[in-house]
């Protein structure tokens, strides 16, 4: 960690702003129940102190998005969107070892809901533009700062709404960066790979419903809806999905093989997963489609056989493999169970090349000369999905250098979420370097 005497204003502000943001509990409970008003107003004040005017776009009461544009010196160049989300998932304080909204510093980390997902990044963005205000720096290209609502519950009141109702705020922008990318993963050889998100799985949440014959629980019934749905759910949960490797996955695993001295076998990349430690839980899910049962609903009394029963499946498909996933599930459950789409969103995959990618890689290597930037496919999704519908190419780039033994993926939505202060110091410098040279 940077010694206390050498901590810059940029670094210290990244930490203090992150703490401020965590202490504003902008919890998104889903189904329209969220409130980003207070944290949005904080962002507006922080930007104003840096001489940057911003606007709040309220999609529904207290569902607030903040947009600001910093004009670049070269108006012939397209702009870039630098975005984060302001909402966080709920936290049950009884499960935590600290108050999830106190932003305490313990073990050289900031603890609290949103420390990783993603108020640390929001803080880095604010700290950087405030630093520019102090130094008089002007970026080359226009930078649109976007702080979205509702990322944690489908983006309906956030990036989706902004893209549909206010696309003009992104006018002239062709690229974007946001969360869950540029973090370090120490592989078995001890080398540090920096995972830059260049692809995302798509989402298909579906409700399966079985119809049957209602009746008394004491009687024979060969048309039990609950039995039918349970059988379907068990088959989906136990299904072994075939391996399907996208271009991003192939590049990542070739880099892992080279860094660890292991063979690169395109017939089966799974043996290389053990080289990336706990990150394998997420990366393993990017080698295939997945469909996980998450909810069951049936019946209302112990001695009544219900006439219908339903289950919810969280389906995630690889870029190019949506039809395969849907057809597979239909074949597994048979024709008698209905499928209703609850939510569906696209998969993304972009090339890991070009000037923007080179600027990301250069910024990482400047502050970690031994670091190896690599692309990866994310098992979840970000607001880049919404911006892609405006023709904006997005990457996940919110750099953090992490301790080798930290289970980073477990911190997303997890109990005792926390971010290392040293990682934040590293990240804000790398992100600043990138934004000044992209």
Residue 79: left if φ>0, alpha if ψ -120 to 50, beta else—which one?
beta
Averaged pLDDT of the chain: 96
In the chain, the percentage of residues whose pLDDT exceeds 70 is 99
**pLDDT score at 3:** 46
In the chain, the percentage of residues whose pLDDT exceeds 90 is 96
**pLDDT score at 6:** 83
3-class DSSP state for residue 170? Answer: helix
3-class DSSP state for residue 387? Answer: helix
CA 375/CA 253 separation, integer angstroms:
10
Report pLDDT digits (tens) over 364-392: 999 999 999 999 999 989 999 999 999 99
Q: What Å distances lie between residue 371 and 22, 196, 361, 414, 421, CA to CA?
A: 30, 12, 9, 27, 19
Structural domains of the chain, ranges and CATH numbers in brackets: 4-180+382-437 (3.40.630.10), 199-345 (3.30.70.360)
- With a CB cutoff of 8 Å and minimum separation 6, the contacts of 387 are 81, 83, 159, 163, 170, 176, 394
Report pLDDT digits (tens) over 348-363: 999 999 999 999 999 9
Does the pLDDT of residue 423 top 60, yes or no?
yes
Task: Please answer whether residues 296 and 425 qualify as being in contact, where contact means their C-beta atoms are separated by less than 8 angstroms.
Answer: no
Report pLDDT digits (tens) over 95-119: 999 999 999 999 999 999 999 999 9
pLDDT level of residue 154 (50, 70, 90 thresholds) = confident
Is residue 248 reached through a cis peptide bond, with omega within 30 degrees of 0 on the bond before it? no
pLDDT mean over 335-347: 95
Write out the DSSP string of 325-369. HHHHHHHHH-TTEEEEEEEEE--EE--S-SHHHHHHHHHHHHH-T
pLDDT level of residue 1 (50, 70, 90 thresholds) = very low
- With a CB cutoff of 8 Å and minimum separation 6, the contacts of 132 are 50, 70, 138, 139
Report pLDDT digits (tens) over 62-79: 999 999 999 999 999 999
- With a CB cutoff of 8 Å and minimum separation 6, the contacts of 83 are 144, 145, 146, 147, 148, 159, 176, 177, 178, 383, 387
């Amino acid at each position: 960690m940077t010694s206390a005497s050498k901590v810059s204003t940029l670094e210290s502000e990244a930490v203090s702003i992150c703490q401020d943001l965590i202490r504003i509990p902008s919890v998104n409970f889903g189904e329209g129940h969220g409130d980003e008003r207070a944290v949005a107003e904080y962002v507006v004040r922080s930007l104003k102190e840096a001489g940057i005017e911003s606007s709040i776009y309220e999609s529904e009461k207290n569902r607030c998005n903040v947009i600001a544009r910093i004009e670049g010196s070269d108006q012939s160049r397209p702009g870039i969107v630098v975005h984060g989300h302001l909402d966080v998932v709920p936290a049950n304080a009884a499960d935590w070892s600290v108050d999830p909204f106190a932003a305490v510093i313990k073990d050289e980390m900031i603890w609290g809901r949103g420390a990783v997902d993603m108020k640390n990044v929001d803080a880095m963005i604010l700290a950087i533009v405030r630093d520019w205000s102090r130094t008089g720096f002007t970026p080359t290209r226009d930078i649109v700062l976007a702080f979205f609502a509702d990322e944690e519950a489908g983006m309906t009141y956030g990036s989706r709404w902004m893209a549909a109702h206010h696309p003009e705020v992104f006018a002239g922008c062709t690229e974007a960066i946001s969360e869950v990318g540029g973090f370090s993963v120490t592989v078995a050889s001890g080398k540090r790979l920096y995972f830059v998100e260049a692809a995302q799985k798509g989402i298909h949440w579906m409700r399966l419903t079985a119809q049957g014959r209602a009746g008394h629980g004491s009687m024979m019934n060969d048309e039990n809806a609950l039995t039918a749905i349970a059988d379907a759910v068990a088959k989906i949960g136990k299904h072994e999905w075939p391996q399907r490797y996208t271009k991003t996955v192939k590049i990542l695993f070739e880099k892992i093989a080279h860094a660890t001295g292991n063979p690169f076998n395109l017939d089966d990349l799974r043996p290389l997963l053990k080289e990336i430690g706990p990150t394998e839980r997420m990366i393993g899910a990017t080698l295939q489609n997945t469909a996980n049962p998450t909810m069951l609903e049936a019946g209302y009394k112990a001695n009544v056989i219900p006439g219908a029963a339903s289950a919810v499946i969280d389906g995630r498909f690889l870029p190019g493999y949506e039809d395969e996933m849907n057809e597979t599930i239909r074949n597994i459950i048979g024709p008698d169970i209905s499928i209703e789409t609850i939510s569906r969103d696209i998969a993304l995959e972009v090339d890991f090349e070009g000037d923007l990618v080179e600027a990301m890689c250069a910024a990482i290597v400047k502050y970690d000369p031994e670091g190896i930037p690599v692309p990866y496919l994310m098992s979840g999704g970000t607001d880049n999905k919404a911006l892609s519908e405006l023709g904006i190419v997005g990457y996940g780039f919110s750099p953090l250098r992490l301790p080798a033994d930290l289970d980073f993926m477990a911190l997303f939505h997890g109990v005792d979420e926390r971010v290392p202060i040293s990682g934040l110091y590293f990240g804000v410098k790398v992100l600043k370097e990138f934004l000044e040279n992209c």
